[in-house]
Amino acid sequence: MMLGLAVARGTFAATKVDLVCLAVATLGLAAWLATDEPVVGLLLFLGADACGAIPTLRHVFIDPAHEDATGWALLASAGAAAVISVEPHQCAWSWTAFGHWGGAVYVALVNLTILACIVVVQRLARPATAA
């Protein structure tokens, strides 16, 4: 949807990094659809999503003013809420349990990483004030 809006509004300018990440994410999603193993599918999906996060992080460093910290904070909070909602008996360190908590932890961490980068880069980009 976002790609369609960007193309329709004329703001889509793909770089080599964007295209490579899009290709890897597409392959990951195709592999996810082809697997019958739920946890392997989750790992493939998370890998595909991580490839999609790379251009976002790149954009944060190139143009931090165009990223909204509030939106990313809400997404990180949703991930944290999802982690908290995992039942205690599903929090084991095992392959099967990863299927219960892995996605939630990933969502919390990837959005928290993007948020932290936005905050740090925006603070570094501010002009120094005279004391």
Residue 128's pLDDT band, with cuts at 50, 70 and 90, is: low
DSSP 65: G
- In this model, does residue 3 exceed pLDDT 70? no
Residue 72 is predicted with a pLDDT of: 93
The overall average pLDDT reported for the chain is 84
**For the chain, how big is the Rg over CA atoms in Å?**
17
Q: What is the pLDDT averaged over residues 99-115?
A: 93
Residue 18 vs residue 86, higher pLDDT: 86
- C-alpha 43: how far from chain center: 14
Tell me how far CA of residue 62 lies from CA of 1, 67, 95, in angstroms.
23, 10, 38
**Mind listing the pLDDT tens digit for each residue in 13-51?**
677 877 887 788 788 778 878 888 888 888 888 888 888
Tally of CA atoms within 13 A in the half-sphere of 117 that contains its CB: 21
Q: How far apart are CA 2 and CA 115, in angstroms?
A: 20
- The domain segmentation of the chain, as residue ranges, is 2-125
The DSSP secondary structure of 116-127, one letter per residue, reads HHHHHHHHHHSP
> Quick one: which of 124, 123, 118, 6 has its CA closest to 58?
118
Residue 108's pLDDT band, with cuts at 50, 70 and 90, is: very high
